[in-house]
Amino acid sequence: LLLSLITDYLSQCHQSDDGQGPVLMTTVAMPVFSTKNETRNRGILLGVVGTDVPVSELLKTIPKYKLGIHGYAFAITNNGYILTHPDLRPLYGDGKKRRKPNYSSVDLSEVEWEDKDDTLRNAMVNRKTGTFSMEVTKSVDKGKRVLVLHNDYYYTDIKGTPFSLGVVLSRGHGKYFFRGNVTVEEGLHDLEHPDVALADEWTYCNTDEHPKHRYLSQIEAIKMYLSGQEPRLHCDKELIQEVLFDAVVTAPLEAYWTSLVLNKSENSDKGVEIAYLGTRT
């Protein structure tokens, strides 16, 4: 009988099965007690069962596309150590994938250092639910530039675990969403264009739950989901609608920009190095 979680979770760095290099893991363990009638009241421990869970799998449950350009989510343990955070850098940046000595015991105060009084950290360690705001500096462009942002933090505990979750939204970013509707036929036609690729960081459909789905690409899973062929396939309907809309709206741009280049005057694009368009999905 699995009675309770052992609350000593360890973040570790393991080699991924797909050969992509070391990945952060968290170990989940539970005690196993005898269920025999004659020993039930004595609580005889038979052993401990555990498994390693990649932190990346936990992050798949967070819809990052809803958090805005500078928004992010993070989680800490009941000791204040980081389970996951965008500024957690467990490996040295020398290309050799070497772990830093104390990568598994980085305190939240070391990355959210603008919180001088540890207001955010203490609230999360005490498993409270609430909000917190502060001005922060964020480096971008590989540390070459710095932005000053005002962040709103929303935090709560994760029931049944020793973890607390935080979500950060930057004021002025991610507050409003543009929504549009296109037909499935229109969207798939433009999404399957050879020059269009789905963003690797988004999970449109969960292909890990059922063995039958594990060999599907994301575009194959989307097509199967939209056709209604596979009811057991779980997909993010809102995200799929957004990416179909983006595909349709941006499809004419290639032809438009090509026509501008062909019809340009000699100095019409002076100083322009590149033109691009970014979308949320």
Alpha-carbon distance of 248 to 171, in angstroms, equals 29
State percent of the chain over pLDDT 90: 19
Residue of 208, 215, 199, 200 lying closest to 232 (CA atoms): 208
For residues 97 and 139, membership in a common domain is answered with: yes
What is the phi/psi pair of residue 91, to 5°? Answer: -115, 150
For residues 227 and 203, membership in a common domain is answered with: yes
Instruction: Report, as an integer, the average pLDDT of 162-182.
Output: 83
For residues 125 and 216, membership in a common domain is answered with: no
DSSP structural state of residue 44: -
Res. 11 pLDDT band, cuts 50 70 90:
very low
Residue 266: per-residue pLDDT: 57
For residue 142, tell me if it sits in a domain.
yes
For residue 19, tell me if it sits in a domain.
no
For residue 247, tell me if it sits in a domain.
yes
For residue 31, tell me if it sits in a domain.
no
For residue 38, tell me if it sits in a domain.
no
Contact 55, 24 (CB under 8 A): yes
Domain count, the chain: 2
pTM: 0.75
Domain that holds residue 63: 56-170
Residue of 261, 184, 260 lying closest to 223 (CA atoms): 184
CA distances (Å), 72 to each of 111, 237, 257, 281, in order? 13, 21, 34, 16
Res. 19 pLDDT band, cuts 50 70 90:
low
Largest CA distance in the chain: 93
